[in-house]
Amino acid sequence: MPKVSTKDLIEKFKLELVSGEEGINRPITTSDISRPGIELAGFFDYYPAERIQLLGKTELTFFEKLSHDEKMYRMEKLCTDITPAIIISRDMEVPPELIEASERESVPVIKSPIKTTRLSSRITNFLESKLAPTTAVHGVLVDIYGVGVLIIGKSGVGKSETALELVKRGHRLVADDCVEIRQEDDDTLIGSAPELIEHLLEIRGLGIINVMTLFGAGAIRNFKRITLVVNLELWDQTKQYDRLGLEEEKMKIIDTELTKYTIPVRPGRNLAVIIEVAAMNYRLKRMGLNAAEDFTNRLSSAIEYGEHDDI
């Protein structure tokens, strides 16, 4: 099944279908939109037929100056078997030549009252969201002080229990167990919950709980940009854990690299507070305040001062 079809576009923006109804299930494969001005002038060498074609006041005013035969030929070339739709903006009158060609090739012709530039922008944003690369990650996504924190780790390590404690402390749950992630820009990952498990948490021993019912609408979010990954793992006595925080570990999801903290789990450690502090510390680093670097610099200065003192 295609991610998005012409029919989805019609329903989303309440567009009026004029002709070519047989093609409304055509797949839309790109978020790029074409305004075929040069094509209406007769140059089709580089015609991007796979894109949505948007005709505004400029294109249609020029089209009216053409002869009847030119109008017929240009519209026949405009309507191909892979063109998902031709949209007329500003509620302008649809040329009869376009209707005839679209019916023959089953290319949907649709109208909108919205101005051309604004319509192009809205459709592009919608398609970029729908056609963005996606993946799913086993973990929990929580909004902590405005930072989207993806908590990952092996099954049974305590991800959901930690998320519950964070919600109790006033933070907001986005998704538990399965986080659906889409990459909207080169460096923007948006996480959300699958519809089936939206607002739900699974706590071993209790079962499924509805976070919104228990804690209110302020305890949940439908989606959130992911900026930090926290990996929970059982404490390994043989492993050397970072004690200063000078080096940032990275994790790649789709094409985006995220900062990753690995937090060892053992009895007596308050994971919710640690993750809360990790989110706050991450925000401070983005603002240019790095406690680890500051400590290292002061330590170096103290050592250097001590050496001079000995001399």
Q: Which residues are catalytic?
A: 138, 159, 177, 243
Structure-token pair, residue 21: 């109804």
Question: Is 159 marked as binding a ligand?
Answer: yes
Locus of tokens 């390590």: 157
Amino acid at the residue 167: V
Consult the annotation and say whether 20 binds a ligand: no
Q: Is 218 annotated as a binding residue?
A: no
Annotated ligand binding at 89? The verdict is no
Burial of 283 (0-12, 13-18, 19+ CB in 10 A): middle
The alpha carbon of residue 134 and the mean position of all alpha carbons in its chain are separated, in whole angstroms, by 8
Ligand-binding annotation for 56, yes or no, is: no
156 belongs to an annotated ligand binding site: yes
Phi, psi of 133 (to 5 degrees): -60, 140
Token duo for residue 122: 């809205």
What are 102's two structure tokens? 């679209």
What are the φ/ψ torsions at residue 293 (nearest 5 degrees)? -65, -40
Q: Estimate to the nearest angstrom the gap between the alpha carbon of 307 and the chain centroid.
A: 54
Write the single-letter amino acid at 119.
Answer: L
Q: What is the DSSP string of 160-173?
A: HHHHHHHHHTT-EE
76 is in an annotated binding site: no
Among 253, 252, 261, 271, CA closest to 231: 261
Q: Is 148 among the annotated ligand-binding positions? A: no
CB-neighbour burial class of residue 124 (10 A; exposed 0-12, middle 13-18, buried 19+): middle
Listed in sequence order, the DSSP H helices in 199-290 are: 211-215, 271-286
Identify the H or E element spanning 252: strand 249-253
Whether 115 has a binding-site annotation, put simply, is no
Q: Degrees (nearest 5) of the Cα angle 250, 146, 242? A: 35
- Binding-site residues sit at 153-160, 202
- Binding-site residues for ATP sit at 153-160
